[in-house]
Structure formats: C-alpha cells, structure tokens
Amino acid sequence: MSRFYITTPIYYVNDAPHIGHAYPTVTADAIARWHRLLGDETMFVTGTDEHGLKIQRAAEANGITPLEQADRTSQRFRDAWTLLDISNDQFIRTTEQRHHRSVQELLTRAKDNGYIEKGSYAGHYCVACEAYYNDDDLIDGSDCPIHERPVEWLEEENYFFKLTALESELLDWLNGPHVFPEGKRNEALGIVKLGLEDVSMTRTSIDWGVPVPWDDDHVFYVWYDALINYATAVGFGTDEDEFNQWWPEVHHIIGKDILRFHCVYWPAMLIAAGLEPPKEVHVSGFLLLGGKKLSKTGLTQIAPADLVEDFGVDGYRYHFLRDVSFGPDSEFSYEQMVARYNSDLANTLGNLLSRVTTVVQKKCDGIGPAPDVDSALGKVAADSYAAAAEAWDRFQAPVAMEATWQLIREANAYLERHEPWKMEQGSPEVQRVMGDALEVLRWAAIMAGPALTRASEAIWAAIGLDGSPTDERLPEAAAWGRYPGGLTVTKSAPLFPRLKAE
C-alpha cells in the first residue's frame, strides 16, 4: 500500500478566509481525493497558524485572550472548509500541546547539532509597530514608514538559526526535483545564491508563542513554529513510528509569497534537526482581482460562501480547478465562472445526464442497458484516463479536468451520430448506444469526483448504481465496460440549472 501525504499552508488567523485561501485548499483536496481513488493511504492536512505578535495585538484590541482570538478565526476556517466539502484528515492548530512538544523537540535537535546559537539582534525599532526596520525602509533615514515618527536603536538577545552553515545542503536539495514549477525552483535557488544570513528565530518581546525549552525568556518566532506543523501532524514529537511512515514523502502546496520559508528555511530546519527535507513543494501564484492581489485593505476579498450561493459547491470547486492554472497568477472573473459553469457543467455534463435518462425512459423502459465492450468510446475513455492521471500527478488540475471532459463531450457527439431517440424501442441497437452513454456517466462520476463532490454522487444514483463513486478504485474502475446494466435509471431535475449572466 502506498502512502500519500499532502498539506496546504496553515492559514494565519488574523484574516477571514477568502477565495485566496480556498484556492490551494480546494486544489489539495482534489488531489487528495484523487489519491484516495487510487487506493493510496492518504493524509491530507490543513490548519491554522495562531501565534505571533499580530494575534496578540488583535486579542488585546478585542479585549480577549490570544487563544480566544485564535479560536474565533480558526473556527471560521473550519466552517469554510466544511462548506466547500474539504476532506482534510486533520485540522492542525499551532496552539495544540502536541505541536508545542514537536516544535521544542525539533529545534532542540537542531540546537544540539550546533545550528542554533545565541546572538544579539540590533536595529531600528518602532515601538508603535513593535517591529524592526532596515535603514532602507525608513523615511529620511530616521522615521518609521508607517507611523512617520522616529525609531529607536534597540538591541536584544536572540537565538539565531545558522542558515549560512547549510548553504551547500540547500543547493543540493534545490537542484533535485523538489520544487515546482521550475520557475519557482529557480527563484528559490536565486534566494540562496544571493547570499544567506543567519536568522533570528526567537523573541523576548512577546510571550504568545512556543516557549524555548532551554531559555524561559524566549518564545520561538512564529515562522519557526508554524512550519513544523507539517511534521507535528504526522506524529513528530509524539509518535516517531508514525512520523517515519509518512516522512519525508510529503507534498506541500503553498502560495508564492511564502516560497522563501518553504523552499529555504524549512528544508534547512529539517536538515539541521537531522531529518530529511520535504519531497515536493508545489508553488501557486495569486488570484488577482482587477490586476491586484486580494487584500483586506483594498476591499477585494471575496468570501467563498458568496460564490457558493450562486454556483453551488460543485460549481465553485470546478471553476477553480478547471480555470486556475496552478503556478502563474490568475485573474478572477465572475463572468468566466458563469461561462464555465454553463458550458461544462450545465450544457455538456448536466444536459448529457438529462438526455440520457430521458431516452432510457422512453426507449428502454427505464432500465439501463449494459455497454458495448468494444464501443468506440472505450478508446477515448482510455486516452482520457491516461491524460487525466498524468495531469493529476503533476498537480495540474485544469489539465486533468479538460482530459476528463474530452470523453463527456465525445459522448454527446456519439449520441448525435447514432440518434437513439429514432431507434425502435428496446432494440439491440438502442440498448447498445444507451449502455455506452450510461457507461460514460459512470466513468465521469468517478473521474470528476475529485472536483464535483456532490454531482458525482447524484449521477451515480441516477444511473442506478449503489454505494458511492468514492468507493471505486482506479485504474480498474476507469476500464471501459463496467456499468453492469439492468439497473433502474431515474430521470430527475437538471443537475446544474443554467445560470443567466448577470
């Protein structure tokens, strides 16, 4: 039995979930569902990142504890993922005890291996921001760029992560097949080649974080705690055997803004602790609105719930999986979403189900016949499957979706060529044609399942099959001719009612 471990970033709880958070989550979910279909023992982890200055301050502003603050927002993420049928096996929170143990264990090992040392950090500090600034960032060389008032020169003792000692190990890792797409790998290489510096990894100025086990005055800086969630989730620090079963075969999905942390710091931290760096990091671009990235301040956030209201869960998931190329930035367009819903879901797939169930009622007494094992559609199905499987392997959901729809479109053309509605009721000819059409629907319910979590079940039931398409196992289930025939086919309301453009 092979295993498949996939993660999303854990989202920082200073922000409400929006489509920018949902995109990598839906992508990871679809890939996880694909691997479950393949029969892999699958671990899909998402969660929330809950420490750090911003949370502490937000809590103070709201007059609650940092944990209460984190609880509130973390719950909103869980609600959003429930809404979108996200099938995560775990939802990890960095405030969990198991995570604190894991962080302390991993970083203690790094320290014991000589990669963490005490040093002092000095710089221009803005008290209002509670943050350090570089000379370049200051206005006229002396004022905070946000508060426009003088900064102070502050020096504090910190523990430093000796990133510089790991340069050659990082280059070795980055030269391997670990960061995708290629352009993003080059970007990570560029960061290393530009010159690494040792980085301050603890804070004494706040206490909302994971305590440094060897020095009570410090907590780990939020990034050094957050990244380790990927290890915590599969047992690091609590169950080494479990951990060793999953690690290092992990697939991280991240956004390009956190490339530095996942492609430089994270592998370095693991190496420092004597562990293997991650197997794959897949970097996505941003969703843009009017050419700008989504932001709270720009009022360009879009809540998944608003779109689900218009398009349904399937319509939501399908749009982002089919239209957003994984890697480059992508412009979000409501009109594009409507067009995609109508063409692929309402017209091509939904209408296929409608016409097939109607003709089966009229010409086959509502009993679905078995397909022709030598049907011309069998070859198309095999090609579609091969292309889709290859695309899922590369994390290219849009390509996998397009490959899947090739057969669905072909089924419409096949009906057109044979015109079963003109055939004699119950004849062998009409039985064969309709059996083939039903077989395509069976196949599509499985293959589109990672995207259309609900419609795939509805199709499955409509053509008379028991159980769920998620119980099927690939590649056998994609082989042509598995629809048994003799099942009751049900005509029902349109699966995806057409949407009017607004």
Using CB under 7 A as the binding rule, the residues of this chain from 219 to 238 that contact RNA are 221-223
DSSP state of 256: G
364 is catalytic: no
User: Judged by CB under 7 A, does residue 199 bind RNA?
Assistant: yes
d(CA 201, CA 198): 9
Q: What is the DSSP string of 221-233?
A: -HHHHHTTHHHHT
Pick one of 63, 97, 177, 194: the residue that binds RNA (CB under 7 A): 194
Dihedral sign from CA coordinates of 93, 77, 88, 8: negative
Helix (H) or strand (E) run with residue 253 in it: strand 250-255
Q: Mark the segment that binds RNA (CB under 7 A) among 35-43, 146-154, 194-202, 273-281.
A: 194-202
Pick one of 358, 428, 471, 488: the residue that binds RNA (CB under 7 A): 358
Pick one of 145, 190, 274, 475: the residue that binds RNA (CB under 7 A): 190
- Compare residues 207 and 419 and give the one whose CB is closer to RNA: 419
263 is catalytic: no
- Compare residues 3 and 118 and give the one whose CB is closer to RNA: 118
DSSP three-state, residue 302: coil
User: Judged by CB under 7 A, does residue 12 bind RNA?
Assistant: yes
Instruction: Give whole-number Cα distances, 198 to 166, 192, 210, 389, 457, in Å.
Output: 10, 12, 20, 42, 53
Give me the least distance between CB of 424 and RNA, in Å please.
14
Number of Cβ within a 10 Å radius of residue 138: 16
Give me the least distance between CB of 464 and RNA, in Å please.
18
Residues 245-264 that bind RNA (CB under 7 A): 254-258, 260
User: Judged by CB under 7 A, does residue 494 bind RNA?
Assistant: yes
251 is catalytic: no
d(CA 24, CA 327): 11
Number of Cβ within a 10 Å radius of residue 90: 14
Pick the catalytic residue from 54, 256, 279, 293.
293
Residues 133-162 that bind RNA (CB under 7 A): 134
The answer to whether 444 and 349 have CB atoms below 8 angstroms apart is yes
Number of Cβ within a 10 Å radius of residue 275: 19
Contact pattern for RNA over residues 169 through 188, marking x by CB under 7 A: --------------x--xx-
296 is catalytic: yes
Pick one of 47, 52, 368, 369: the residue that binds RNA (CB under 7 A): 52
Pick one of 29, 50, 323, 436: the residue that binds RNA (CB under 7 A): 323
- Compare residues 426 and 494 and give the one whose CB is closer to RNA: 494
d(CA 97, CA 115): 25
Q: What is the DSSP string of 364-408?
A: HTTEEPPPPTT-THHHHHHHHHHHHHHHHHTT-HHHHHHHHHHHH
Residue 160: left if φ>0, alpha if ψ -120 to 50, beta else—which one?
beta
Give me the least distance between CB of 473 and RNA, in Å please.
27
150: tokens are: 């003088």
218 is catalytic: no
In 453-500, the DSSP E strands lie at 487-488
DSSP three-state, residue 125: strand
252 is catalytic: no
Q: Mark the segment that binds RNA (CB under 7 A) among 78-86, 104-112, 406-414, 424-432.
A: 406-414
Residues 53-72 that bind RNA (CB under 7 A): 53-54
The structure tokens 């198309």 sit at 380
d(CA 92, CA 45): 7
Residues 375-394 that bind RNA (CB under 7 A): none
Pick one of 315, 327, 371, 435: the residue that binds RNA (CB under 7 A): 327
The distance of Cα 198 from the centroid of its chain, to the nearest Å, equals 31
Pick the catalytic residue from 51, 100, 124, 126.
126
Q: Mark the segment that binds RNA (CB under 7 A) among 74-82, 139-147, 308-316, 321-329.
A: 321-329
Give me the least distance between CB of 272 and RNA, in Å please.
15
Q: Mark the segment that binds RNA (CB under 7 A) among 364-372, 472-480, 481-489, 492-500.
A: 492-500
Give me the least distance between CB of 291 and RNA, in Å please.
5
Q: What is the DSSP string of 315-353?
A: HHHHHHHHHS-SSS-EE--HHHHHHHIIIIIIIIIIHHH
Residues 331-350 that bind RNA (CB under 7 A): 331, 333, 336, 339, 342-344, 346-350
Q: Mark the segment that binds RNA (CB under 7 A) among 6-14, 99-107, 208-216, 381-389.
A: 6-14
Query: Could you give the residue numbers annotated as active site?
Result: 18, 21, 126, 129, 144, 147, 293, 296
